[in-house]
Amino acid sequence: MSVPEIVSVGTDGARPEHVRGRAAWFKRLPVVHQVRQSVGLQRGMLVAGLVLCAVFVLVALGADLLAPYGWSQLRDSETAFGAQQPPSAEHWFGTTVGGYDVLSRVIWGARTALLVVIVAVAASLVVGVLLGLVSGYFGGWLDRVLVLVADAIYAFPSLLLAILLAIVISGGQSSMWGGILAAALSITVVFVPQYFRVVRAEVVRVKAEAFVDAARVLGTPHRRIMTRHVLRNSVRTLPLIVTLNASEAILTLAGLGFLGFGIEPTAAAEWGYDLQRAVADVTSGIWWTALFPGLAIVLAAIGMTLVGESLNDLADPRLRTRARSGVVSGAVAATSVESAQSPKEDA
């Protein structure tokens, strides 16, 4: 490695804006910036997680085009599919004990999971951030009550709490959108304390800063201080929690469906329900009904977990600096070896 290459490794991020060229805006995009910032195994984990998440989202959005059949379809224009048929040219992943096409159920289940993740994470993010902002900024008896409630919910087993809420909201079974909203709201109650505690801790720290005191002295209203000064400096770690909660939402949804408290099979496809129906098939040697729904759950959860863990590592300046210094030191060592070998070759 030459000396100019070493300089580019250590000082690329410090170049002036006009030197970076026309593609600088693309390099500053959130995902692209994190990928360029990561190195080694950290970059591999992040890229693998992004690929899995992209496949999951694309499959969910394109379910109408990718799925050969509907989620509750039992026959084509000529004959019925048949129950527990092995993988074949007509049914790539085989059929279930109920006669549904496994591939179609897996693809449509991705859409159901994506809708639940979006609704659950968005609702918990809004409620948790709002409560954490109000509690941390004003304090007092309201802060003590909210902290007590959040700790009580956080100490309760999350899956059991989701089951209880699913029963209360929908009676355990419901239509497609009713089941999605019931599952999402059940997961929302589990996630709200996490956002509340993180945002509240950051708000308590930020409101003691000098610029917040200066805004109060100038007579700035509380609402403007909370939204413009405090909130903007208290949500930096939320993207990390969102990615980790997304994977937990998929697992919680699968757990609800596996235990029979999810969405009705004729209303929408759901991976947890399909996995529960396939338990008895495994002992009979019928592996395809359980393999593909279980694999979909694992890959979707692993993809979001890899993204969240990689972003968490990149947010830690100690890990980021250590990885970057390792790359630079390796480049310096390679150059030293080359420079030491050059006189020998000349001799």
Q: Given a cut of 90, is residue 56 above it in pLDDT? A: yes
Per residue in 235-251, pLDDT (tens digit) is 777 877 888 888 888 88
Per residue in 285-341, pLDDT (tens digit) is 788 888 899 999 999 999 988 888 777 766 655 555 544 554 444 444 445 445 545
In a domain, 324, yes or no: no
The number of residues in the chain equals 347
For residues 23 and 13, give the distance between their C-alpha atoms in angstroms, rounded to a whole number. 14
Number of domains in the chain: 1
Average pLDDT over residues 141-170: 83
Identify the pLDDT of residue 95. 84
In a domain, 122, yes or no: yes
As a whole number, the mean pLDDT across the chain is: 77
In a domain, 290, yes or no: yes
In a domain, 197, yes or no: yes
Q: Given a cut of 50, is residue 261 above it in pLDDT? A: yes
Identify the pLDDT of residue 315. 63
In which band, very low, low, confident or very high, does the pLDDT at 204 lie, cut at 50, 70 and 90?
A: confident
For residues 207 and 128, give the distance between their C-alpha atoms in angstroms, rounded to a whole number. 18
Total-model pTM: 0.76
Handedness of CA 261, 263, 265, 267 (dihedral sign): positive
Angle (CA) 118-122-125 rounded to 5° is: 145
Identify the pLDDT of residue 267. 78
Identify the pLDDT of residue 299. 93
Provide the b/e sequence for 35-55 (b: ≥16 CB within 10 Å).
Answer: beebeeebbebbeebbebbee
In a domain, 27, yes or no: no
Cα–Cα distances (Å) from 184 to 55, 91, 107, 257, in that order, read: 22, 31, 20, 13
Average pLDDT over residues 255-277: 82
In a domain, 321, yes or no: no
Q: Given a cut of 50, is residue 167 above it in pLDDT? A: yes
In a domain, 323, yes or no: no
C-beta of residue 155 within 8 angstroms of C-beta of residue 225: no
In a domain, 332, yes or no: no
Average pLDDT over residues 223-229: 82
Does residue 84 come out as left (phi exceeding 0), alpha (psi in the -120 to 50 range) or beta?
A: left
Per residue in 60-119, pLDDT (tens digit) is 999 888 888 888 777 777 777 777 788 888 888 888 888 888 888 999 999 999 998 999
Question: Of 29, 38, 36, 26, which is closest to residue 309 (Cα–Cα)?
Answer: 38
CATH number at residue 130: 1.10.3720.10
Give residue 301's domain range.
63-314
In which band, very low, low, confident or very high, does the pLDDT at 42 lie, cut at 50, 70 and 90?
A: confident
